[in-house]
């Protein structure tokens, strides 16, 4: 059983979002981290704004490289430099090691995302 944290929003591409006020923290799920294996590199977005469903970074592991897709649209406020410097934090604590912080354009977009329960069903059916 993969760890799925309640109270977050999820995507079918295995990103999570934690909303605090008008800000959203975006990270990779425990499932993604376990599938990728040992993560050795993370690069955040090269733009000031991200769009829902658009690429917003890259992670590389000993197995492969994967694009990260933004679950929400908004202005990039911060890239987590701790994860840039130590990408293995994603494997160690996927829900603590957020990747980017975004100022949300619209909370309406959250309705398009999966709840923890829906994400769990998505994984079960995969």
pLDDT tens sequence across 33-81: 999 999 999 999 999 999 999 999 999 999 999 999 999 999 999 999 9
Residue 42 lies in a domain: yes
- Owning domain of residue 33: 9-107
Concatenated DSSP letters of 43-111: E--SSSEE-TTSEEEEEEESS-EEEEE-SS-EEEEEE-HHHHH-TTHHHH-TTT---EEEEES-GGGGG
pLDDT value at 126 more than 90: no
Residue 85 lies in a domain: yes
Tens-place pLDDT, residues 80-121: 999 999 999 999 999 999 999 999 999 999 999 999 999 999
User: What pTM value is reported for the model?
Assistant: 0.96
CATH of the domain at 70: 2.40.50.100
Asked if 8 contacts 17 with a C-beta cutoff of 8 angstroms, the reply is: yes
The helix (run of H) or strand (run of E) holding residue 31 is: helix 30-36
Instruction: Say how many domains are in the chain.
Output: 1
pLDDT value at 122 more than 70: yes
Residue 118 lies in a domain: no
């Amino acid at each position: 059983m993969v760890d799925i944290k309640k109270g977050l929003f999820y995507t079918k591409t295995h990103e999570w979002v934690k909303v605090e006020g008008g800000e959203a923290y975006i990270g990779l799920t425990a499932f993604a981290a376990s599938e990728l294996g040992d993560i050795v590199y993370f690069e955040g977005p090269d733009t000031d704004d991200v769009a829902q469903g658009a690429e917003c970074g890259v992670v590389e592991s000993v197995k492969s490289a994967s694009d990260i897709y933004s679950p929400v649209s908004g202005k990039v406020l911060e890239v987590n430099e701790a994860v840039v410097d130590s990408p293995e934090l994603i494997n160690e604590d996927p829900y603590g090691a957020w990747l980017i912080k975004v100022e949300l354009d619209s909370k309406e977009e959250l309705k398009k995302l999966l709840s923890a329960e829906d994400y769990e069903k998505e994984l079960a059916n995969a």
